[in-house]
Structure formats: structure tokens, C-alpha cells
Amino acid sequence: MSTSTEQPLYLRIADRLENMIQAGTLRAGDRIPSVRQFGQQQGVSVPTVMQAYTLLESRRLIEARPKSGFYVTARLAKSLVEPSLPRHKPTRASLEGLSSVFNAVRDTNDPRLVPLGSAVPSDDLVPLEKLARASASIVRRNPAATFRYDPAPGSPALRKELSRRSIDWGCAFEPDDFIVTVGASEALHLALMAVTKPGDTVLVESPGYYGTLSLLAKLKLNVVPVPACICGLELNAVREAVKKYDVAAMLVIPNFSNPAGGFMSESNRRTLLQIADEHDIPIVEDDIYGDLPHQGPRPPCLKALDRSGRVLLCGSYSKTLAPGLRVGYLVGGRHHDQLMELKNTLNLGGPALSAMTVAEFLRSGGYDRHLRKLREAYRLQTCRTREKVAETFPEGTRVSNPEGGLVLWLELPEQVDVLDVYREARAAGINFAPGTLFSPQGLFRNCLRLSCGNPWTPRIEEGIATLGAIARKHAEP
């Protein structure tokens, strides 16, 4: 019998890495060293390492991703199925009875709860010290400017940086095209006020973000929820809705939607714009997750394909930089003057210091460096969460597999009432977002959203495992 020392070197390397994977030292989603880097670390040739990696690929323990490297395979998660497309018909609904989101928002900042509910970056992922230094430097250089009103359209320095970045979005906006807002929430508020009036009907994604549904309710608007999944809006349902109802506007998230994680293909985006053109319907685009692909270049926004000026583009730096900065933006095109008037009516300006801080972070290159780390963190956290869900949740659970963003949408077996799971989980110190929050009709009772915005820790891992155990109990006959 051959001893281990008589085995080929590449085989010994492969076995060593496999043992690390089986022991959990290397976990699902981890990037392993490049062939050249590992060869230098171990003092072996590149061909030897390549042989070892090829063997590990054949054992389905690692996978190569073009222009990215080698990663530990999420083996259990490979068996997961995407959530099914919602089966409901697009029917107009009033938002008068919409549940309050107060409790969901309150739980966001409760340190006693395992934070699986709110789609915001953890403090550990926010460049707090760099932002603090940038803010302090700005205050020292020009204290008066930082504490004045920042009247619409907002900070010239920030609008200049937004103009520069808009090239990456597939657009080429001028600084004067932008209005700086207090987060994406105000941008959406202004955009909807510009293109609707109380009693109008807005086409929305289903499931749809509960914060946006709450905003629509406060504006006294009705909605037509159209089924959406990982590929975005179901376009046949969009056609049906606009023929049946007098739709005043569409509100969509084409890039990594919340909560379904949907990403619309370019052909589907063109079709959506064609439908909007045919029926003369403005589109409010929420691009808050556009900067967060898990790998590859930033995808263009829907506005990049807009040739008729009907798309109002909204975005912010809440999901990428720091929620508390409250810095967003709006490009309203032909509605620009009306939006300026609405902005001045709503408030006299946003926080000047926040806008100037973001502008400086963008200008210095700090944002791009931070964004590379953040994208990798969200990718890794999403991968590990899916793997843990596959390990601990009841058989038949479906889980989204988004290409970007920081949330997962789960569809549990039909007999599970997630509100019962929610009550038990919260009593156990775990917070998540139950599916009914994402529907004005109270649909998705067996669904939930998990946030992947926190670094992977034993507390997060144990929280998901406990939640899975609770879900399994409620799935039992």
C-alpha cells in the first residue's frame, strides 16, 4: 500500500484543501487563493496547483468563476429551487388597510435581536472612521457652509460627482440634471407626487418593498401588484394590468429588487419601456441596489434605455455607504422643474454636511475601494446564508439566488404560516421580515425575507439555524 508521502504532490494538496473544506475552515462562498498565489505560498509549481484545483472541481468542492477566481462550492444550496412566480392576477388594491411597518422598523435597532430583518448594511461594513475623518475635515475647512441650508437642487460638488458616475450607469447626465434628496425615500416621494395624484393607480412589483407600499398608502394611491420573481416583472401580467386599469405610473426596481432579488434582462427592460410608451405611462425607477452586483460590472439602469424621457431615476447611498447620511438623488428629466418646486415645498434642503461628505468620498476614490469590499461581503454573506438555509430549513423550502443586493426571499412549504414562525422567532431573539409585509392583500403568508447585511458570525449562523428549526416544527403535518 502506498503511503501519503508516495502520493503525487497535487493529490496531497487537493486532499489537504478538501480536509479544510470538510472541517469548515474553508466555507461555502470563500474565495481560495489564486493558482499563482497558492503556488508561491506552498512553494510548488503553478501546474501542480492547477492539477489540484482541477481535481477539487471534479469532486465538486470548488468552482471557477470567469475573471474572479476559485470559490468553495455551496454544495447544499445547489439543491435549492428558486421561489415560484406568484400566481395571483394583477388586481387593483386599496392601501387603506395596509399594516403599519412601525414594529418592523423599530426592531431594526434592537440589539437584543439577531438582525435578519432589515435590509441595511451592518455598522461593521460601514467605513465609519473614513467618513468621520472626511466630515471633520470639511467642517474645519468651511464650517459655515456645512451648517447652512442646502437648497435644491443640492450640493454642486455632489451633483458633479453623480454626473461623473452616471457614465457607469449607462447614462451621461449633467450636474444640473440631478436633485439631491434626503435618501431614496424622499426621491421616490417627490417622483410619485410629480406623476400621480390621490386616488390614482400605480403598478408595483409583487412581492414589493413594504416601505414603498407604506409611502404609496400615505399618498392615498391605489396599486396593481404585478407578479415578479428573480427575472423581474412578469410582462404578460403588466400588459394585462395596463389594459384593464388606468395606470398612472409604474414603480419598479430592475436591478436586484427588494425582496425578490429580481434582475430584468435588457430585452425585458426594452419591452417594459415599449409598453409604457404605448400607454403613455411614466416609470419611477428605484435603483438603490444598482451598485451592488455580487460580481462583474455595475449593470446599467433602466433610464439608460429611455428614449422618451418617461423614466424618473431615484437612488441613494443608504445601502452602500451609510444609512444615516440620508443622501439620495433624483433625475426627473422633463419633470425637473416641477420636482424642484415640490422639493422646495417639502423641505428647504437636505443636510449639507452629509452631501459634502459623500461628494468627497466619491471624488477621492474611497467609495470605489469601499464598494469592492462591500460587494464581496454581500456575496459571501448571501452564499453562506443560502447554504445554512439549505441545511436547516424544512424540506421543500425555496430560496432566491440573486446576482446582487443583500436580501434573500424564502418560500416555505404551503402549510407554514410565517406569522406564527415570526412570533416564536422573535420570542427567541430573532428578527426577520414576514412575507405578508410585502403585499397589500396579505399574500405570501408562507414567505419571508432574510437580510444578508451583517458579517457572518456565530450569532448570525446560530440565529438562522434556530429559525430553520422553528420553521421545520411549523412545517410538520
Q: What is the pLDDT of residues 86-139, one digit of tens each?
A: 888 888 887 876 665 556 666 766 788 999 998 889 999 999 999 999 999 999
pLDDT score of 154: 94
The CA-to-CA distance between both ends of the chain, in Å, stands at 52
pLDDT at residue 71 is higher than 90: no
Mark out the alpha helices in 97-152 (DSSP H runs): 102-108, 128-141, 143-146
Do 253 and 288 form a contact (C-beta atoms < 8 A)? yes
DSSP string, 166-218: TTTTT----GGGEEEESHHHHHHHHHHHHH--TT-EEEEEES--HHHHHHHHH
pLDDT at residue 316 is higher than 60: yes
Single out the residue of 450, 397, 396 nearest to residue 425, CA to CA: 450
pLDDT at residue 42 is higher than 70: yes
pLDDT score of 349: 81
Mean pLDDT, residues 386-413: 96
- Which percentage of the chain shows pLDDT scores above 90? 70
pLDDT band at 1 (very low <50, low <70, confident <90, very high): very low
Collapsing DSSP to helix, strand or coil, 57 comes out as: helix
pLDDT band at 2 (very low <50, low <70, confident <90, very high): very low
pLDDT score of 105: 63
Mark out the alpha helices in 280-417 (DSSP H runs): 336-346, 352-364, 366-392
Single out the residue of 283, 285, 281 nearest to residue 299, CA to CA: 285
- Which percentage of the chain shows pLDDT scores above 70? 96
Phi, psi values for residue 85, rounded to 5°: -65, 130
Q: To the nearest whole number, what is the mean pLDDT of the chain?
A: 91
The answer for residues whose C-beta is within 8 angstroms of residue 210's C-beta and 6 or more apart is 101, 104, 433, 437, 438
pLDDT band at 3 (very low <50, low <70, confident <90, very high): very low
pLDDT band at 22 (very low <50, low <70, confident <90, very high): confident
- Set out the domains of the chain in order of their start, with CATH numbers: 4-72 (1.10.10.10), 77-86+99-123+369-475 (3.90.1150.10), 126-367 (3.40.640.10)
The per-residue pLDDT for range 408-440, each reduced to its tens digit, is 999 999 999 999 999 999 999 999 999 999 998
Rounded CA separation 428/464 (Å): 12
DSSP single-letter state for residue 290:
T
3-state class percentages of the chain: helix first, strand second, coil last, to nearest 5: 45, 15, 35
Rounded CA separation 249/314 (Å): 14
DSSP string, 240-260: HHHHHS-EEEEEE--BS-TTT
Name the CA radius of gyration of the chain, rounded: 24
**What is the amino acid identity at position 75?**
R
Rounded CA separation 446/349 (Å): 42
Rounded CA separation 463/470 (Å): 11
Single out the residue of 43, 330, 342 nearest to residue 183, CA to CA: 330
pLDDT score of 114: 95
Rounded CA separation 462/468 (Å): 10
β-pairing, 283-286 vs 247-252, is parallel
CB atoms within 10 A of CB 89: 13
pLDDT at residue 235 is higher than 60: yes
Collapsing DSSP to helix, strand or coil, 26 comes out as: coil
The per-residue pLDDT for range 156-207, each reduced to its tens digit, is 999 999 999 999 999 999 999 999 999 999 999 999 999 999 999 999 999 9
pLDDT score of 67: 72
Mean pLDDT, residues 280-303: 96
Side-chain half-sphere exposure of 104, counting CA atoms within 13 A: 25
Mean pLDDT, residues 344-349: 85
pLDDT score of 150: 87
Cell 427592460 -> residue:
269
Collapsing DSSP to helix, strand or coil, 327 comes out as: coil
Rounded CA separation 245/312 (Å): 21
Determine if residue 5 is left, alpha or beta; phi over 0 gives left, psi from -120 to 50 gives alpha, anything else beta.
alpha
Rounded CA separation 118/454 (Å): 10
Peptide bond into 394 cis (omega under 30): no
The dihedral sign for the CA sequence 154, 156, 161, 162: positive
Side-chain half-sphere exposure of 467, counting CA atoms within 13 A: 32
CB atoms within 10 A of CB 218: 11
pLDDT at residue 332 is higher than 80: yes
pLDDT score of 146: 85
Spacing of C-alpha 328 from chain mean position:
16
Collapsing DSSP to helix, strand or coil, 83 comes out as: coil
